[in-house]
Amino acid sequence: MTSATDAAADVCRTSDNPAPSLPAWARLPINRCNLPAVILGSVTFQKHPTALLLDGVAELQAKLFALLDEEDDPAERARLFKEGVAAHFCLDRPEEAGFDGHASQRVKANWLRLLRGWSFDADGREGAVLKGWVESRFGLVPRFHGEPLRDFEGPAWRRYEEMRAAGLYGAHALEAQLALLYAWCQYEFRRRQPRTSHLALYRGINRIDEHEVLAREGRRQIVLFNNLSSFTASRERAGEFGDYILAVDVPVAKILYYCDLLPGVLQGEGEHLVIGGAYEIEIRR
């Protein structure tokens, strides 16, 4: 009996995939996920995705997801999810979480307000919290927040860090709420579209130079997206935001939230919040 080697015709080798890997400056060496950033942020993952599991969420929220398993109506599951998050994080009883009158404004900070804040301004305080959450959980470093983030010691990076810290200060464990939101989004994909691995999503642009291009091959290019970006499922909607359209096959495993989970939360038609990294894209007009 002979063992397979990487010289065999049916064995995938590193040289078979010419796509550049996720640059070291776009990722952290550690994260809180079952796959490292260098893998989950790669084009290989885009083409061959697997489930992404955040540390501790399934174990801590087993009762909530068992309750959701018993309900067939998506609208009712959404209600149960909102009630479950509110109960677990004492969102309706802030005094039980240690809040007092001096923190009345921060009591209102929660996952829903983060999503609505993103919808109004992705480069605001809520956007900084969301991008910071992706950075800490998935190990993908943000590349833009109001302006390019290239120098980790520069004023743009300090501004991002200050906004992130201000958004998290005195709040109801916002990053833990977002981890649960991501887990619920993935749960709903498995319930509603169990055979779907990718979604065709679009983003309108005016110049491809607005993005970090890692490789070019005609109309198909490999682009490094910000660690969290908005896409739409509507090609027509994307065309309203630029002369060119980026068409991307996005793994459902890299979708944090989409508009149909709770209609009315996000303003954009067919909007999806997509976790970043390197993607192979096609440019269309």
Which tens digits make up the pLDDT trace of 157-187? Answer: 999 999 999 999 878 899 999 999 999 999 9
Q: Give the C-alpha separation, 258 to 210, whole Å.
A: 24
CA-to-CA distance for 21 and 38, rounded, in angstroms? 7
Give the Cβ contact number of residue 153 at 10 Å.
6
Residues 6+ apart with CB under 8 A from 170: 99, 103, 106, 109
pLDDT at 98: 55
- Flag residues of the chain having pLDDT under 70: 1-19, 94-107, 267-268
pLDDT value of residue 106: 58
DSSP state of 19: S
| Separation of alpha carbons 254 and 247, rounded Å | 16
Please say whether the beta carbons of 208 and 245 come within 8 A: no
Q: In angstroms, rounded to a whole number, what is the distance separating the alpha carbons of residues 65 and 58? A: 8
Identify the bridge partners of residue 274 per DSSP, sorted by sequence position: 229, 255
| HEC per residue, 112-174 | HHHHHHHHHCCCCHHHHHHHHHHHHHHCECCCECCCECCCCCCHHHHHHHHHHHHHHCCCCCH
Distance, CA of 216 to chain centre: 25
Alpha carbon distance 185, 276 (integer Å):
16
Helix %, strand %, coil % for the chain, to 5? 40, 20, 35
Could you report the per-residue pLDDT of 115-124, keeping only the tens digit for each?
A: 999 999 999 9
Look at residue 18 in the predicted model and tell me its pLDDT. 57
- Which run of H or E residues covers position 270? none
